Structure 1
Amino acid sequence: MVASDSFAEFLREQLAPLGHVTVRRMFGKTGVFCDGLMFGMVTDNTLYFRVDDDNRADFKEAEAYPPLNYSKKGFAIDLSFWRAPERLFDEPDELIAWARAAIAAAGRVAAKRQRATPKQRAKRQS
C-alpha cells in the first residue's frame, strides 16, 4: 500500500533538513527521494531506508524487523530497504542521520548501476 497523504506530508516535513525531498507513488509503494535519489520507500505508512554493504552496520537496529521485499515465482526478493525504527520519529537529529546514510547508499547503488551499464552494453555488442 502507498503512503497516505498525511504520512507523506509528515515525512517531507521531518526530512526537510536534507534538502529537496519528494515522495512519489510507484509499484504499489511510495518512493522517497532527495535530489533525485530514491533513499527510502514507504508501504503501509512504514518508512524503509536504503541499505548497502557500507551502511548495514550503522542500521544494525533495523535488523530486528523484516526488510522490504516481494515474492516472485515463490521466492522472496530483497529490495535492500530496511525498516526505520519508530523511535526515530521522536529523535529528529537521528532520523536525519539515518536518512543521510540511506542517501549515501542510494548514491553508491546509482553509481554502480551507471558503471555496470557500459560493460553490459559491450557484452551485448560482442
Structure 2
Amino acid sequence: MAVDEGLFAWVQEALEPLGTVTLRKMMGGATLYLDGTIFAILDEGELWLKADAETDTVWDAEGCEKFAVTFKDGRVDVMNYRRAPADVYDDAEALQRWGALAVEAGLRGAAKKRPRKSKAKP
C-alpha cells in the first residue's frame, strides 16, 4: 500500500506553525514525526494520532477509535494511536490542536524510553 502523499502534504502544511513534519515509511504505512517526535501514523489514507493513558479520556469523548492490527493468525494488536477526528482533514486549526495533543503523548512516551546506561568496559 502506498502512502497517501496528498494527506502527508496537508499534514505538513497545516502543522507548519508547530514545527517540521517528516515521514518514515513502514509496513505499508508511514510514521510521522514533528521535529523528531513521533506523533502520528498514516495507514490506508487515514491519519492516526498518538495517544496515551493521560489523553485517552479526551480521545474517548471525541469518539476516536483505537488503531488495531489483525494478524494472519487472528491475533489483534491495539496500539496507542487514535483515528483523527473528521475535521482535521480540512481544518488546519483543528489539526494543530489534535496534533499538539499527539505530540505531547509522543514526548511522554519518548521520556519513558530513555536509553539505558551501557555497562562500563574493563
TM-score of the superposed pair, with normalisation by structure 2: 0.83
Q: Which residue of 1 aligns with 2:35?
A: 35
Unaligned runs of 5+ in 1: none
Q: Per-residue displacement from partner, 1:35-73 (whole Å, max 9, x unpaired)?
A: 11110001111000001011112222143x3x2222344
Find out whether 1:50 has 2:37 as its counterpart: no
How many residue pairs are counted as aligned between the two chains? 117
What SS does the corresponding residue of 1:17 show, helix, strand or coil? coil
Tell me, yes or no, if the aligned pair for 2:30 and 2:42 is still in contact at 8 Å: yes
Say which structure is richer in helix. Answer: 1
Q: Which residue of 2 aligns with 1:77?
A: 77
User: Could you say what the CA RMSD is over the residues aligned between the two structures, in angstroms?
Assistant: 2.1
Moved more, 36-45 or 89-98: 89-98
Q: CA, structure 1 residues 33+62, in 2 after alignment: closer, same or farther (shift >3 Å)? A: farther
AA of the residue aligned to 1:98: W
CA distance in 2, matches of 1:41, 1:2: 13
AA of the residue aligned to 2:96: I
Q: CA deviation at 1:2?
A: 4.0
Report the identity percentage.
26
What SS does the corresponding residue of 1:58 show, helix, strand or coil? helix
Tell me, yes or no, if the aligned pair for 2:3 and 2:29 is still in contact at 8 Å: yes
Tell me, yes or no, if the aligned pair for 2:68 and 2:77 is still in contact at 8 Å: yes
CA distance in 2, matches of 1:10, 1:20: 12
Q: CA deviation at 1:95?
A: 1.6
Tell me, yes or no, if the aligned pair for 1:29 and 1:42 is still in contact at 8 Å: yes
What SS does the corresponding residue of 1:19 show, helix, strand or coil? coil
Unaligned runs of 5+ in 2: none
CA distance in 2, matches of 1:10, 1:101: 18
CA distance in 1, matches of 2:10, 2:95: 13
Structure 1's consecutive aligned runs of 4 or more residues displaced over 6 angstroms after TM superposition are none
CA distance in 2, matches of 1:9, 1:86: 17
CA distance in 2, matches of 1:62, 1:11: 21
Find out whether 1:112 has 2:112 as its counterpart: yes
